[in-house]
Structure 1
Amino acid sequence: MEPRKLLQQMFEAAVLSARPEYCLARHLPAPPKGRLVVVGAGKASAAMAHAFEDAWSGEISAGLVVTRYGYEVPCRYIEVVSAAHPVPDQAGCAAAARMLELVRGLSPEDLVICLISGGGSALLPLPLPGVTLAHKQELCRELLRCGAGISEINCVRRHLSAIKGGRLAAACHPARVLTLAISDVPGDDPADIASGPTVGDPTTCADALAIVDRYRIRLPDSLRACLESGRGESVPPDDPRLGGARFRLVATPQAALEAAAQVAQANGIAAHILSDRIEGESREVGKALGALALQVARRGQPFAAPCVLLSGGETTVTVRGGGRGGPNVEFLLALALALQGEKGIYAVAGDTDGVDGQEETAGGFVSPDLLARAWQLGINPRQSLDDNDGHGFFATLGERLVTGPTLTNVNDFRAILVTG
């Protein structure tokens, strides 16, 4: 099979494995004696709500999920609201406030199903009293630009939120809570998926403040006061209000990589999953994996060609140039520079939600002739990387991976094909 087509099929298999209609139904509980309330947030939450309705045998008393603009899926009983991502807006605040009201006043015989997926942090931005949405929006932009990891970003978010960090589950008490989650974070930590609205938070305001100071982010006085005073402390794991809360993963980055590996193996290509939780600066990861691919191609170590090197996780971009960033395209551009047109090595990288950074592009493709074609067009690949302009580079070369809304999100996907 032609290399690009094979890479495309592996990416599509990874995404398909995490689509709610294929992974949600087997995790549903028995109907409760009392009411059933469905809430949720994330880029996949509307698709999850639709799949839940199709599979659920009981009644649904009430429901509300919030998803990213353009990711709406029609539901019969569960209301779907749209809001902004990755920088939050007032629609997300209003939806989060309504969600808290929806789950209050329940009984021990009631059950709340919480459908959570990546993107939920931005889509549930309800700030604590004294914290404004405008301040949270600016902080979000700074956190996205500074190169902080997702666990660091979400730690800060939890301690300035009225709904994250276990607060949604606490509001459901004494009802039981079952969270069905699609993981988009390295390590699948429940506290980091959508900033953990239904799970206890082991971090503190002091931890959040240390992260802000580490990246030299200047906080408005109201936000700093919230953290320094401890007013933003979230719900700890041993809080008795979380005694009836349970958490279940329905799709993960590892499962997506395994689905891609099956496609490669079906085409006679050995597949090696390097890790489902690679983090760090995108350009450094690209350089490192480029060196590994060259070792395979030239020395047959640590794997023999033909083979594909698969990895997931969430890399970051510290934007210093005039480009738009984008971790997958930055990874690919650094990879291409490391490979320097090595024959027989191809790659794809993309965010499984279809959005790389803040662009409506999932990622892109690398082939041996990529750099030569760029130079022919008068584009300096190194300058494009220094300017954080991966999106402009791959758009001009016609090597973008464009999917539109995939209705799921299991983080970044990377495949490097070494044909030998």
Structure 2
Amino acid sequence: MTTEASIPTQRRAAFGFIFASALLNAVSFGITIPILPGLIKEFAGGDTATAAEWNMLFGSVWGVMQFFFGPILGALSDRIGRRPVLLISFLGLAFDFLFLVFAPSLMWLFVARIVNGMTAASFSTANAYVADVTPVDQRARYFGFMGASFGFGFLIGPVLGGLLAGPYMQSLVGDFAIRLPFAVAGILALLNFLYGLFVLPESLPPERRSARFDWRRANPVGSLKFLFEHGKLAGLATVGFLFQIAHNVLPAVFVLYTGYRYNWDIQTISLTMFLTGALGIFMQTLVVGPVVRNLGERGALLIGCAGAALGFLCYGLAPTGLTYLMAAPIFALSNLLSPGLQGLMTRRVGPEAQGRLQGANQSLAGIATIIGPFLFGGSFAYALKHESLSAWPGLPILIASSLMVAAFFVAWRVGRPLPVAPLTEPATVAGE
């Protein structure tokens, strides 16, 4: 690993560097989204309900790792800088994907999820990087661009994954086709590691870092206590927590749900992800900025909560695949939620604590990832196994809608802007 001193001094940290890194990371992750449930189902003997239960377990274990290690990596990034933590994350992701290429059983997949959960700090650390290099009044806009980078990854990633595992590649490589997307994702993750090693500059100069690494603050309990020590961070974190739980419904059941209810194959699922990803990119690049400018971060947050609640409701009730697709523009409004929320939260802490903030958020996301797969995967499997509920395969998505209704009312109460926390100038103007 190169040291900070070896980075050319003339190359200052700016938004473009972290955007490129986040984009490559999202593409590698997106490739595997439509494939992993199918691989789990294959190991489960082709039974959808059993695959849903295993998928639930994998997601929950990943969340446990995030709960414990998210705050540690967040606090570590405040102490030693963002770049080393990002490198750890990229390398862990590459290991996870390449591990999946050769996994001979569900237990090997299980181990891979544990490793990934321990090191997956790239998204939250990238957000701390954005807070380092952007003026406070422009953060929501740039958080929207970060969301667009993830959206673009999920736009082309699932399509690429579907093609790599599709009939043409099956005719060339046989049964290995279902593993091929993981190999490509692992190579992309390794490329991102090399990009971080040789190109990505550090965003947090030594004089703006925390004085020391404190285990009392880095543990999950300490990180959650941190949220109660800064104004209304706890209320805003509750909104994010409810959204994180609700958002887990799609990773938990989307592939299995649409295959069961609409008989969609892997390529149809991938193209649907392409459509929703395109809508997300449109919202995050072209809509977030004007909404925040005219309605403020609170307005973006409330519209995002309402869009998620109504979108989930439509998804859960849609009787056909076409009606499901018609609800996609409504759900796309949910892309306003995170930029507005991050903008409000990062205003409430100084530069030396942005990593702790994102680590605390990641710890909450870990708890949500523990709850979400059990709540949604469990309710989906339960509905399929009980004749009285078999007409309600969308039950888990309706539960997600109700959570977002609750999030809307919490956001209405706690989302009013507070005075900006004392901040020094960012490392450079974004995009410089």
Richer in helix (by share): 2
Query: Which is greater in Rg?
Result: 1
Greater relative contact order (CA < 8 Å, ≥ 6 in sequence): 2
- Whether TM exceeds 0.5 here: the answer is no
TM range (shorter): under 0.3
Q: TM-score, normalised by structure 1?
A: 0.26
Richer in strand (by share): 1
Q: TM-score, normalised by structure 2?
A: 0.26
